Structure 1
Amino acid sequence: MTWLVEKKRTWAEWVVLRTLQVGPVPTHLAIIMDGNRRYARRQHQDTLTGHTQGFHKLAEMLSWCRDLGITHVTAYAFSIANFKRSKQEVDGLMELATEKFEELLKEQEKMDKHGVRVRVVGDLSLLPARTKQLAAQVTLATRNNTRCCLTLALAYSSRQEMTAAMEAMVEGVGQGHLLPSDISEELLEECLYTSSVKDPELVLRTSGEVRLSDFLLWQSGFSCLYFTEALWPDMTIWHLFGAIFYYQRHHHTLVAARQECLTQRQNAVEERDVDCCRAQHGDNVTQDHITEYTAARTARIAAFIDNLTHRRLTFLQELACSGDE
C-alpha cells in the first residue's frame, strides 16, 4: 500500500470538484476515522482487517484532499482511551501502525518529491518502543517538507494535550522564563502539539456518532462540524464533496465568529499590557512604556517558544535513536 495514491477521477467527479473549488475550500481538514470495527463485523472479518481497511482509506482520502487543494489533514488514529480495548486489538493496531510507518520511511523520496510532511502528535511515551521510534523517525525525516502536511494523532487526547501545554507554561514561569502575566490563550495555543499549523476549518466524523471524543477540542472551537452515517472504510469522494458543500454553506458565519474572537482576544492582550505598565509606573504610563513592555513580553514569549520547540525536537531525536546501539 502506498501512501501517495494516484487515482484517476471520473468525469462527474472532476465536474463537482471544479465546481466546489469556485467557492471556499478548507485548507485544513480534521478527521475522526470511526467505524472500522463495525465495518469488519458487517463484512464478517476480524477487527484488525477493519483497521487495515481504514489505513487504506486514509491514503485514498489524502489523494482526494490533494485534488481539492486541502493542504493539511489531521487524522485521529488512536486515542489514549483506546488503550482500554482488548490487548489483542491494541497490539494489532500498534503492529499495524509500525508497519505503516515503515512504509512511509521507504517512500521518503516520493514524499520529499511531493513535499509531504508527516507529523505524529500525542503522548508518544505511551507507545511501544518500536512504534514510537518509527513515529519519531517519520516526523524528523519529513519535517522540512512544506507543500502539504498529514498529522496523525496517536496516543492522543485533547485534554492531555492542553494539560501538557499548561505544564509547559507553569514550568516556564517557575524557571523565570515567563511572567505570570504572559500566560494567555495565544501562548497556550503556541504550546499545543498542533501549533505549527492553523486550526481546522472543517472537522469530519464518520459512522453516525455525533461527538468529538476528546479530539482537537481547543482547535475546533470555530470549525465547521460535519457528521456522516458512512463507516470510515465506506467513505467515498462523494461523502467528502458533501462535507465541503456543507462547509461552504456555513463559511461566512464561521469566519465572522472566528474574527470576532480574535479581535476580542487582541483587545484583551492590549488591555493587559496597559495594566502591567500601570502596575510598574503608576499613572505616569506613556505610550513608550507600553511599547517597551510589549516588546519585552514578545521577546520573552518568543524565547520560551523557541526553547520549547528545541526540547520537543530533542525528544524526537532521542526517540528516533532509541533503538540504535
Structure 2
Amino acid sequence: MFLQRPWAWLQNEITTRARNFILKVLAAGPIPRHVAFVMDGNRRYARMHHKAVQQGHSDGFVALRRMLEACLRLNVRCVSAYAFSIENFKRSEEEVNALMAMAEEKLVELCGHGDLLDEYGVRLNVIGKQELLPASVQAAVAKAEGMTAHNTRAIFNLCMPYTSRDEITTAVQKCVRESKDCCISEKDIDAALMTSLGGSPPLDILVRTSGVKRLSDFLLWQCCEDTQLQFSSTYWPDFGLFDFIPIILDYQRKVWSKSR
C-alpha cells in the first residue's frame, strides 16, 4: 500500500503536467471563442460497459468537467453543452427522475467554493424551458446562476431542457412583444436568444460525439456560415483530450489557411 500510493500519485502528476503542456502549446495558436458539445452516447456507453443507464450519465458528467476544464485552459471564451433536450422528457420516468436528481446535485457541486467555475471565473447560464424542471432543480439553477453571475472571464451555457426551435420561438415572441414599429431584424432576434445572456460570442465549433451526424435541434440559429461541425465516433463519457486535440488543430489549420 505504501508503494502503491506514491506511484499512483506520480502517474497522475505526470499525466496532469503532460496535459497542461499540450494545452499550453495549443493555446499559442488561434483559439475558438465558442465551443459547443452535443454530449451523445451515454446510454450506449453504459450498455457497452454493462452499467446502469444512470451510471452512464454520471460518467458523462465527469467527461463534461474534463472538457470544460480543457477549454478553459485553452482560454475558450464560451462553452455550451447540450445536457437535456425537451424531447428527453419522453424517456422513462425512472431515467428522467435520475437525471433531474443528478442535475440538482451537480449544479451545487459545480458552483461550490473553489470548484471549477469559481476557480476559472466562469459565469453559468442554464438555458432552456426552466419551468419544465422540478421545483428543487429550479431552485438549484437559480442559486448556481446567482453564485456565478459576477464572473466575467468565461461563460458556460448548460442547455437544459432545451431545443433550438423553442429558443427561436421564444426569441421571436419576445421581439414581437417589445417591438414598437413591427419591424423585427435579425439582430433583434439574435439579442433575444437565450445564449445572449452574458454575451456569448458566435459559435465557432460544434462537436457531436458517438458517431451520430445530426444537430438534434441544438443551436440551429447560432450555427452560422463559419461554424465548423465536428463529429467524433467516441461515446461522450470516453471523450477526452486526445479526441479534442485533432478538432482544435483542424480549426487552427482552417483559420491559418483563411489568413493567407
Cα separation, partners in 2 of 1:167 and 1:97, compared to 1, 3 Å: same
The structure 2 residue matched to 1:210, chosen from 210, 213, 217, is: 213
Cα separation, partners in 2 of 1:132 and 1:218, compared to 1, 3 Å: same
Aligned partners of 2:89, 2:257: CA distance in 1, in Å?
Answer: 38
Q: Does 1:156 align with 2:162?
A: yes
Any residues of structure 2 matched to 1:3-82 within 5 Å, and which?
A: 9=15, 13-14=19-20, 16-82=22-88
Q: Which amino acid counterpart does residue 26 of structure 1 have in structure 2? A: P
How far is the alpha carbon of 1:112 from its aligned partner?
A: 3.8
How far is the alpha carbon of 1:13 from its aligned partner?
A: 4.2
Query: Over aligned residue pairs, what C-alpha RMSD do you find?
Result: 2.3
Aligned partners of 1:109, 1:10: CA distance in 2, in Å?
Answer: 17
Q: Which amino acid counterpart does residue 17 of structure 1 have in structure 2? A: L
How far is the alpha carbon of 1:68 from its aligned partner?
A: 1.6
Aligned partners of 2:102, 2:16: CA distance in 1, in Å?
Answer: 31
Q: Which amino acid counterpart does residue 211 of structure 2 have in structure 1? A: G
How far is the alpha carbon of 1:102 from its aligned partner?
A: 2.1
Any residues of structure 2 matched to 1:186-265 within 5 Å, and which?
A: 186-195=187-196, 196-221=199-224, 222-251=226-255
Higher relative contact order (CA 8 A, sep 6+): 2
SS at match of 1:78: coil
Aligned partners of 1:159, 1:254: CA distance in 2, in Å?
Answer: 32
Whether the 8 Å CA contact 2:167–2:193 is kept in 1: the answer is yes
Instruction: Give the corresponding residue for 1:184.
Output: 185
Q: Which amino acid counterpart does residue 249 of structure 2 have in structure 1? A: F
Whether the 8 Å CA contact 1:223–1:254 is kept in 2: the answer is no
Aligned partners of 1:250, 1:189: CA distance in 2, in Å?
Answer: 26
Instruction: Give the corresponding residue for 1:303.
Output: none
The structure 2 residue matched to 1:100, chosen from 85, 100, 106, is: 106
How far is the alpha carbon of 1:12 from its aligned partner?
A: 5.3
SS at match of 1:156: coil
Q: Report which of the two structures shows the higher radius of gyration computed on alpha carbons.
A: 1
Could you tell me which runs of 5 or more consecutive residues in structure 2 were left unpaired when the two chains were aligned: 1-11
How big is each residue's C-alpha offset from its partner over 1:133-170, in whole Å with a ceiling of 9 and x where there is no partner?
11122112211101122110001000000000011111
Any residues of structure 2 matched to 1:69-148 within 5 Å, and which?
A: 69-107=75-113, 111-148=117-154
How far is the alpha carbon of 1:253 from its aligned partner?
A: 7.6
SS at match of 1:135: helix
How big is each residue's C-alpha offset from its partner over 1:176-198, in whole Å with a ceiling of 9 and x where there is no partner?
xx2122x1000100000001211
Q: Which amino acid counterpart does residue 159 of structure 2 have in structure 1? A: A
Aligned partners of 2:228, 2:96: CA distance in 1, in Å?
Answer: 31
Paired residues in the alignment total 246
TM-score by length of 1: 0.70
Aligned partners of 1:93, 1:231: CA distance in 2, in Å?
Answer: 18
How far is the alpha carbon of 1:113 from its aligned partner?
A: 4.8
Q: Which amino acid counterpart does residue 235 of structure 2 have in structure 1? A: L
- Percent identity over the alignment is 41
Higher helix share: 1
Aligned partners of 2:16, 2:114: CA distance in 1, in Å?
Answer: 29
How big is each residue's C-alpha offset from its partner over 1:74-104, in whole Å with a ceiling of 9 and x where there is no partner?
1000011111111111111001101111223
Whether the 8 Å CA contact 1:127–1:155 is kept in 2: the answer is yes
